[in-house]
Structure formats: C-alpha cells, structure tokens
Amino acid sequence: GDLYIQLQPAWMSDYIQGTTHGSAYNYDTHIPMIFFGNHIPAGKDYSQRYISDIAATISAILKIQEPNGCIGKPVEGALKK
C-alpha cells in the first residue's frame, strides 16, 4: 500500500532544490486565475473556480473541443459577450 504523510499547517518538506506544488491547506490552494488577450473582456470575478476550469475555458476561447475527460466549466466572464 501507499503511505501519505500530511504535514502540519505552514510546514513544508525540506527540498534541496526546486519547489513544491503547495499543500492541501486553504491558505496554499487559493491562487489568481488570469485570462488576458485579444477578445477577452476586461472584468473581475471573485467566485470559486477549480483548476479543471482552465482547460474548459481555454477550449471555449479557442472554439475547440474540450480534452477527453474534461470536467471543468468555462469561466463565462473570460468569454467575449
């Protein structure tokens, strides 16, 4: 079987080089999601989003089919009205 160790909040494993992908705690999982470019309207949206929404949104912007297994929903505010 697998063993998973969850460190206490604000603690990280000691890495000699590189970085991590964060932790499972709320303070480390909230990041800005920014879409910028031609045909993307200016605006702000403070609603909760998921990382899976990125692929869905980019697919909608490019007007292409979403990747297989995509479970995200496009961020409507990033789409031209």
pLDDT digits (tens, 9 = 90+) for 13-54: 666 666 666 666 676 777 788 888 888 889 888 888 888 899
Average pLDDT, integer, range 69-81:
88
pLDDT band for position 5 (cuts 50, 70, 90): confident
Tell me the CA distances in angstroms from 78 to 37, 40, 43, 60, 71, one per residue in order. 10, 6, 8, 9, 18
Backbone angles phi, psi at 53, to 5 degrees: -70, -20
Return the pLDDT at 37: 87
Return the pLDDT at 39: 83
Pairwise pLDDT comparison (12 vs 36), residue with the higher score: 36
Question: Which distant-in-sequence residues (6+ apart) come within 8 Å of 47 by Cβ?
Answer: none
